Structure 1
Amino acid sequence: MIDLESAISKERRITLKLPGATSNLGPGLDCLGLALNIYSKMSFFILPENDPGIPLITFKGSIAKSSLAQDQGTLTYTILSRLWKQDQNLLQRARIIIDSEIPLGVGLGSSSTAILGALWAANVFKDRIPTAPALLAEACELEGHPETLAACLLGSMVVCGPSSTSKKIVTQRLNWPREWHLIVVSPQYSLTTPTARRILPKEVKFEDAVHNIQKTALLVAAVSRNDEQALMEALDDRMHEPYRAQLVPELSRLRRELASQPIIGCVLSGAGSSVLVVVNEKRKVKVLEQIKDWAESEVKPPRVLDLQVDQEGIQELQI
Structure 2
Amino acid sequence: MTDSASIATVRVPASAANVGGGFDCVGIAVDRWLTVSVRQGAEGEPAEPGFVREGTLTSLGTRNSQDAIYVAFRAAVGAKKIAVPERLRFHATSEIPVGRGLGSSAAAFVAGAALANEMLKLGLDKFGIAEVGTALEGHPDNVCPSVFGGATLALTHAGKVIVSPLDVHASLAFVFAVPEFVLETKRARAALPNVVPHVTAVSAAAKGAALVRGLATADEDMLAAALDDVLHIPHRRRLVRGYDAVAAAAIEAGAIGATLSGAGSSMLAVTKTEKADAVGAAMAHAWQLTGVSAVAFTSAQRVKGFHVVP
What TM-score do the two structures reach when normalised by structure 1?
A: 0.87
Q: Give 1:25 shift.
A: 1.0
SS in 2 for 1:263: coil
Equivalents in 1 of 2:226, 2:129: separation in Å?
31
Name the residue aligned to 1:156: 150
What amino acid maps onto 1:87 in structure 2? A
Is 1:305 paired with 2:301?
Answer: no
CA RMSD of aligned residues (A): 2.5
1:52-87 deviations in Å (ceiling 9; x for gaps) = 4998111223432xx336479722123334555763
Does structure 2 retain, via aligned residues, the 8 Å contact 1:56–1:96? yes
Range with greater deviation from structure 2 (199-208 or 302-311): 302-311
Q: Give the gaps of 5 or more residues in structure 2.
A: none
Is 1:117 paired with 2:111?
Answer: yes
Range with greater deviation from structure 2 (261-270 or 71-80): 71-80
Does structure 2 retain, via aligned residues, the 8 Å contact 1:161–1:169? yes
Match among 82, 96, 99 for residue 102 of structure 1: 96
Equivalents in 2 of 1:258, 1:245: separation in Å?
15
What amino acid maps onto 2:109 in structure 1? I
Equivalents in 1 of 2:76, 2:126: separation in Å?
18
Match among 83, 89, 94 for residue 87 of structure 1: 83
Does structure 2 retain, via aligned residues, the 8 Å contact 1:19–1:310? no
1:151-171 deviations in Å (ceiling 9; x for gaps) = 1100111111222xx311111
Give the aligned length.
305
Match among 216, 229, 234 for residue 226 of structure 2: 234
Q: Give the gaps of 5 or more residues in structure 1.
A: 1-5
Equivalents in 1 of 2:127, 2:222: separation in Å?
31
1:216-239 deviations in Å (ceiling 9; x for gaps) = 101111223343442223211111
Structure 1 residues 7 and 227, CA gap change in structure 2 (3 angstroms)? farther
Match among 292, 295, 315 for residue 307 of structure 2: 315
Structure 1 residues 78 and 231, CA gap change in structure 2 (3 angstroms)? same
Equivalents in 2 of 1:142, 1:53: separation in Å?
24
What amino acid maps onto 1:128 in structure 2? L
- In the TM superposition, 1:4-19 aligns within 5 A as 8-9=4-5, 13-19=7-13
What amino acid maps onto 1:91 in structure 2? E
Range with greater deviation from structure 2 (286-295 or 168-177): 286-295
Name the residue aligned to 1:3: none
Range with greater deviation from structure 2 (71-80 or 123-132): 71-80
Equivalents in 2 of 1:316, 1:260: separation in Å?
41
Equivalents in 2 of 1:150, 1:240: separation in Å?
20
Range with greater deviation from structure 2 (172-181 or 38-47): 172-181
SS in 2 for 1:16: strand
Give every structure 1 segment of 4 or more consecutive aligned residues whose post-TM-superposition deviation is greater than 6 Å: none
Match among 52, 70, 81 for residue 77 of structure 1: 70
What amino acid maps onto 1:233 in structure 2? A
Name the residue aligned to 1:35: 29
What amino acid maps onto 1:57 in structure 2? F
**Identity over aligned pairs, percent:** 26
